[in-house]
Amino acid sequence: MAGHSKWHNIKRRKEAQDNKRAKMFTKYSKEIYAAVRESGDDPETNLRLRHALNKAKAANMPNDNIERTIKKANGEAGSVEYEELTYEGYGPGGAAVMVKVLTENRNRTVAEVRQAFNKNGGNMGEDGCVSFMFDKRGFLEIADEDKELDEDELMLEAVEAGAEEFEMNDGRAIVYTEPGHFEMVRNHLTEAGYEFEAAEVTMIPQTYTKLSDEHAEQMMKLIDQLEDDDDVQNVYHNFELTEDQAEHFTPA
């Protein structure tokens, strides 16, 4: 599972840049909006909303933005109908790619997603062409940069909380859960004093694909272009960046 963690580390550093913040907030706002429209504005009974709020708050999204979005979703300040869609395809070198979108204009969004694939050495495929290669799982990552984590203690805590899998990777503890156990495990580890670098229910590839340097660079450009699209909520892939590629392509 190391590839998932490794790419998330790169993605997170890039998202920390100021020019990414506005796009991040837009994506979180759309997810909150869709969650409220789907099942109401009470996070106690709306699990999707609760997850969306947790992600928004972890990214330091202002409360005013969150409250304004919830009001809009409730029809208090205008209304938009978002359609949830998934596009699938192959990146350069045959890497599997899934793109989750929330859009009010399907034709615009599919054209932009297709253009991103075509421009960066990939191609869109039919529905279901790669989704079978991914499993929906809870993913939690705990940094151990100061080497103070007790691996055995953390593993016992995670197992006791209901975790499905645990591993240490490059100074980070990675915990995987069944989707339905994610919140229970996260809450248990939070109460035990652990802080997360990442915590989400996501799509984990069953196997990973390493690419040539040329294809790896194209793949990163493809992911960047897709994630820069305001309609794109998540990009899932099975591309595993090698250590040498991470050092070469990752901005300092």
Instruction: Give 1's pLDDT tier (boundaries 50, 70, 90).
Output: very low
Instruction: Give 106's pLDDT tier (boundaries 50, 70, 90).
Output: very high
Q: pLDDT per residue over 20-52, tens digit each?
A: 777 788 888 888 888 888 888 888 888 888 888
**Pairwise CA distance, residues 38 & 32, whole Å:** 10
Segment 99-121 shows an average pLDDT of: 95
44 and 60 inside one domain: yes
Q: Domain total for the chain?
A: 3
Six token digits for residue 115? 């253009």
Alpha carbon separation from 247 to 5, 39, 100, 145, 220 (Å, rounded): 15, 44, 28, 18, 13
165 and 186 inside one domain: yes
218 and 165 inside one domain: no
22 and 118 inside one domain: no
Q: What is the pLDDT of residue 100?
A: 93
Segment 10-18 shows an average pLDDT of: 49
28 and 58 inside one domain: yes
Q: Which helix (H) or strand (E) segment is 29 a member of?
A: helix 18-39
62 and 160 inside one domain: no
More confident residue, 149 or 124: 124
Q: Are strands 96-103 and 232-237 parallel, antiparallel or unpaired?
A: antiparallel
Q: Domain range for residue 161?
A: 133-205
Q: Is the pLDDT of residue 5 over 60?
A: no
Q: What is the largest CA-CA distance in the chain?
A: 52
120 and 140 inside one domain: no
Q: What is the pLDDT of residue 10?
A: 47
Structural domain contains residue 24: yes
**Pairwise CA distance, residues 15 & 34, whole Å:** 22
What pTM, to 2 d.p., does this model score? 0.80
Q: What is the pLDDT of residue 169?
A: 75
68 and 22 inside one domain: yes
Look at the block and give the residue holding tokens 């915590």.
Answer: 199
Question: DSSP 3-state assignment of 173?
Answer: strand
53 and 94 inside one domain: no
End of a domain among 46, 73, 100?
Answer: 73
7 and 115 inside one domain: no
Lowest mean pLDDT: which of 64-68, 114-118, 200-204?
64-68
24 and 42 inside one domain: yes
Q: Is the pLDDT of residue 14 over 70?
A: no
Structural domain contains residue 103: yes
Question: DSSP 3-state assignment of 124?
Answer: strand
Structural domain contains residue 78: no
Question: DSSP 3-state assignment of 184?
Answer: helix
Q: Is the pLDDT of residue 6 over 80?
A: no
CATH number at residue 17: 1.10.10.200
Q: What is the pLDDT of residue 76?
A: 65
Q: pLDDT per residue over 204-249, tens digit each?
A: 999 999 999 999 999 999 999 999 998 999 999 999 988 888 877 7
Structural domain contains residue 79: no
Segment 57-67 shows an average pLDDT of: 86
Lowest mean pLDDT: which of 1-15, 93-107, 109-123?
1-15
Six token digits for residue 97? 């790619």
Q: CB atoms < 10 A from the CB of 78, how many?
A: 8
193 and 143 inside one domain: yes
CATH number at residue 194: 3.30.70.980
